[in-house]
Structure 1
Amino acid sequence: MLYRTFSSILTLLLASRGSYATPSNTSSQIQWGPCDPTVSNGTSVSCGFLDVPLDYHDPSVGNARLALLKVNATGERRGSVFFNPGGPGDSGVSNLGLPGLQQILQQYSGGVYDIVSWDPRGVGLTVPGELYCFDSIEDYTAHFNGTIELTGIEETGNFTDPADVQALLAQGPSLQKKYDELGQKCLNSTNGKYLKYLGTAAAVRDMVSIANVLDGPDAPINYIGISYGSLIGSWFVGMFPERVGKVVIDGILNPVGFGTQKPSAYFAAQLENSDTVYKGLITGCALSGPAGCPIASEGDGPLDIDSKFQALIKAAHEATKANASVPLTSGVLRVELFAEMYAPADWSRFLNETFPQWQQIISGEAPANGSLARRADDFVRRNPLMRRASSNNTSLSYSSHAVTCGDAIDMPGLQLEDQFKDVINTARNVSHIFGTYWPAPIYQCPYWPVRSVERYEGSFNKTLANKIIVASNVYDPITPLTAAEVIASRIGDDAVLLRLNGFGHSTIAEPSICTVNAVAAYFVNGTLPANNTLCEVEPAAFELFPGVTTADIIAHLPSFDV
């Protein structure tokens, strides 16, 4: 399901998960202390831990220990605002430790609230921590060698070549077996016994536990959640409608679809705007011309820029057929290109630097050295739906898989080959560029061995103690506006929809005074924007290419299919 946010949007927010200030008190209360400098060295920032039940319905199971970070209010404190940056698997502690993010959240909250985040179960410094199912990246690559897990899906055009179709379908039985084996490896790993205690319902209850300690058991709970954090938010308002304070969810995962659809159908719906965002990229390049986007030739339009991408994908596809060990397959290119759709601020650098490097590697003009494990490691790091934890472990973290699949609906008997057929249909009818995106954790959920002890299945139309804001970009590649419209409609009169007429994943992907002012007025004064408000990106403060603004691109978006 689930989608990385700040690591791709706020220019690679890499923070160490090293040491941490450990309070001596191990009771149910939080004892705040200075954070380790590797986490944050701000004077207004504190760190701590809180013990909570592993299973809120069976306290005899034992406790989890949540790692917390708090940024003090800059004005007269009115309470706390809780924050989740996305994932699942992103560290709230590491992200909130970054001064740039602190500044954004203080603008949103008017500086009159403490901002509090935590590492959810399976993440970072919380116990249980990261889930590692392989001892190293070498073990991971050995397990999946020869499969699309390491290379992506090979295809060109709209996936109509019978040879490409047959090559994918032929992998179904063997790869499904490997996913079954992976599930058992995860169960047998160090943290495998905790799998059923990871999940979004647990994250919601953990947040309520933190709020009870900080603000009192009857206080309204204020929350900002982005990307996967929006799912935490939508489950929270459903599970605890009487505790809803000021809540903003942004970059919306459709909780209704997630709770009812098989993975391939749900993921297809998530991609409905992705080709339009790609058209924004190529349109911006064409508008900027050779001076601002060197891959453009004089007089090129968006279709000309698209043809250069298509030629590169075809060249990678042909090179892979000739040599299966090539470093840049067409599948890898699509996954890495999709990561660029999240963050328009990176588009100019991407087309000026990365795209020419791809051309040189595929043509053989530049070396792409490294072992299979190294190439697989690079592929994982650039895949916005997969994750490597920043720790001493050299392997892939499966915490995002554990949460995604622990929350997922039960799908007994669903064959991977049937999902492949849906992927082919998605490439032909939903997203020609990104419909064959692979790997993504959600596709593995039918073969995951464990479901969470608690999963929230709705409803989402309960009467809330306070009204909330549901925010979305108009052109979001992975959490489309329609998902925000669905949850806002289900919540009804207790939700208002706030849109940003921009590109990228969530409204933080591009700057807008309008959205900041709307959220700040809500947190400070309780003033809601009008339902369906449309904000614009700041043209004076943000150009996607030299001389080219978001509004310029939107005004020139082509109608052709890519």
Structure 2
Amino acid sequence: MRLLTVTALAAAFSVNAVVLRNEDARDFKGGNHTAFKWGACDPTLVQDSNVSCSFFEIPLDYHNATAGTGRLAVAKVNATSERLGTVFFNPGGPGASGLAAMNEASTLLLALTGGNYDVVSWDTRGVGTFTIPGDIFCFDNVTDYNTFWNGTIELNGIEYTGNFTDPADTKALLTQATVMGRKYTELGKRCQQHPTGKYMKYIGTAATVRDMIALADALDGPGSPVNYAGISYGTLLGAWFVNMFPKRVGRVLLDGVLNPQLVATQESHKIWPQQLSDTDKAYDAFVAGCALSGPSGCAIAAANASAADVDATITTLLKQAHDTARKNASAPVTSADIRSALLSAMYFPATWADLANTTFPEIAAAVQGESLARRALGGVAQRIVRRHEADEAATYGGIAIACSDSIDPRGTSMKDVFKNTIAATQSANGSHLFTPVWPISWNYCSFWPERAMERYTGPFNKTLANKVLIANNCLDAATPLKGAQALAKIMGDNAALVVQEGIGVSRAVMGTWLDY
């Protein structure tokens, strides 16, 4: 699962080898369900020359032709051996760019699929500026964004110590409930009134499933088996696909699972804490590894430090940042910033050395007021600072996807959301460190004004043409193992579960998938 901010990709794609730029791509009318015009991708988005790009025309509403048409921005890398078909890939999010993923990982994806499949990904509805419907905008510029959210936790994050053991922290958060509830409601109206708002009802996972079926029909023939690999949010897309079109299921891998039953039955703000049920355990592994590495390998650790000592060092810094922010609203780094940086690192253990030896010392310098603090902070500001000063801060495509799929609003107030957040920090099954990281896309949905034209709510145990392979790390910081176990149980004989003894977001077993 990703945090709130999703990059809006100013991408362009080639048609007949002529690169379309931002200013003329919006008028492009090409593509249909029977033909693609593949060409070189715009190098500002895709630098991998092995990846080709095209547009693909889609109906906005598969059940109402009068709604008009949209288009998908699609990327493909060709099979390097005897071609056996296409593998469709979704990198997660919701809101991650399939084109960016292809640029970053086309060689790996080819290798993991044996070179016998074309690998195709695309910017789904709600993603980027060249898929239509693409990203959702609610502000004209970052200045409007910052003005709208000024003085709120949307920019400043949530400050607390322990698990809200200080009543002043609870009071400070609940005091924001009225204004934040009003702001989130007003945000939804702003999004609807923006030119992209007319597309909000056409964004959603069910429509994206139908888009993938249309892509498969065009690339591999009508009725062909659909091969698919999805990670994180992509597993929700996959779970909906295999149950909406059970006879079309080819080889399918769902890696790092979001339990679709939660999305079908629970309010979204209650899902987020459940996704963090293993995150504190990943943090425990981080501090243990730091202690074992010692000061030569982990700058947070003193000589002969234990895991508890490393945790105490981090906790002390969180407390210092918290106390400083209480006294000075302009503090360069807050405890909310530090938690956000730690949460991001828990997703990817490969980043732990950088966190421990570069980012953390810079944060500590800023919190402790050293003379070089502001200069030191410059190296990590884009990764940790709460004040959104980039164009991506004003985009809401990922939120639109998550909330379009959510159950209907139930009159939940922001105070309800806050109380649920506080309770989760105090639960044995929740994360006391990370649940209150703010903003989070799931927390908008009780106030989001649109739902998708079509949502799939089950059943999730259809009899499939082929078995599905489910995979998860045992300590996945974003999609806990219990989600994969739940989906495997629901699907019964139609799925098998593979668990990797690993930490972080699960990307475990794609190499074994094609032999399954």
**Counterparts of residues 541-560 of structure 1 (less than 5 Å):** none
Instruction: Tell me whether 1:334 sits opposite 2:335 in the alignment.
Output: no
Q: What is the Cα deviation at residue 119 of structure 1?
A: 0.7
Instruction: Tell me whether 1:90 sits opposite 2:83 in the alignment.
Output: no
1:242 maps to which residue? 247
Instruction: Tell me whether 1:518 sits opposite 2:516 in the alignment.
Output: no
Matches of 1:70 and 1:381, distance apart in 2 = 36
Percent identical among aligned pairs is: 45
1:195 maps to which residue? 200
- SS at 2:445's partner residue? helix
Matches of 2:434 and 2:158, distance apart in 1 = 10
2:46 maps to which residue? 40
Change (3 A) 1:221 1:408: same
Instruction: Tell me whether 1:21 sits opposite 2:14 in the alignment.
Output: yes
Instruction: Tell me whether 1:348 sits opposite 2:353 in the alignment.
Output: yes
- Asked if the contact 2:156/2:386 (under 8 Å) is kept, the reply is no
Matches of 1:88 and 1:380, distance apart in 2 = 21
- SS at 1:455's partner residue? coil
1:3 maps to which residue? 2
1:547 maps to which residue? none
Matches of 1:342 and 1:135, distance apart in 2 = 32
Q: What is the Cα deviation at residue 27 of structure 1?
A: 3.8
1:540 maps to which residue? none
- Asked if the contact 2:8/2:127 (under 8 Å) is kept, the reply is no
Question: Greater shift after overlay, 24-33 or 393-402?
Answer: 24-33
Give 1:410's aligned amino acid.
D
Q: What is the Cα deviation at residue 376 of structure 1?
A: 9.3
Change (3 A) 1:465 1:341: same
Give 2:422's aligned amino acid.
I
Matches of 1:67 and 1:459, distance apart in 2 = 31
2:499 maps to which residue? 499
Instruction: Tell me whether 1:80 sits opposite 2:86 in the alignment.
Output: yes
Matches of 2:511 and 2:121, distance apart in 1 = 22
Matches of 2:43 and 2:8, distance apart in 1 = 11
Q: Deviations over 1:151-202 (max 9, x none)?
A: 1111101212111111111111111000011001100112100000001111
- Asked if the contact 1:16/1:38 (under 8 Å) is kept, the reply is no
- SS at 1:73's partner residue? coil
1:465 maps to which residue? 465
Q: What is the Cα deviation at residue 142 of structure 1?
A: 1.2
Matches of 1:489 and 1:34, distance apart in 2 = 44
Unpaired stretches in structure 2, ≥5 consecutive residues: 17-28
- Asked if the contact 2:14/2:53 (under 8 Å) is kept, the reply is yes
1:316 maps to which residue? 321
- SS at 1:354's partner residue? helix
Matches of 2:171 and 2:268, distance apart in 1 = 21
| TM superposition score normalised by structure 1 | 0.84
Matches of 1:199 and 1:15, distance apart in 2 = 17
- SS at 2:332's partner residue? coil
Q: What is the Cα deviation at residue 265 of structure 1?
A: 2.4
Q: What is the Cα deviation at residue 42 of structure 1?
A: 4.3
Find 1:420's aligned residue among 418, 421, 431.
Answer: 418
| TM superposition score normalised by structure 2 | 0.91
- SS at 1:80's partner residue? strand
Q: What is the Cα deviation at residue 46 of structure 1?
A: 1.8
Q: What is the Cα deviation at residue 418 of structure 1?
A: 1.1
Matches of 1:516 and 1:196, distance apart in 2 = 34
Find 1:213's aligned residue among 195, 210, 218.
Answer: 218
Matches of 1:376 and 1:472, distance apart in 2 = 30
- Asked if the contact 1:135/1:395 (under 8 Å) is kept, the reply is no
Q: What is the Cα deviation at residue 37 of structure 1?
A: 2.9
Change (3 A) 1:150 1:381: closer
1:558 maps to which residue? none
**Counterparts of residues 93-108 of structure 1 (less than 5 Å):** 93-98=99-104, 101-108=105-112
Instruction: Tell me whether 1:265 sits opposite 2:270 in the alignment.
Output: yes
Change (3 A) 1:4 1:420: closer
Matches of 1:92 and 1:358, distance apart in 2 = 33
**Cα root mean square deviation, aligned:** 2.3
Instruction: Tell me whether 1:114 sits opposite 2:118 in the alignment.
Output: yes
- Asked if the contact 2:271/2:442 (under 8 Å) is kept, the reply is no
1:451 maps to which residue? 451
Matches of 1:15 and 1:144, distance apart in 2 = 20
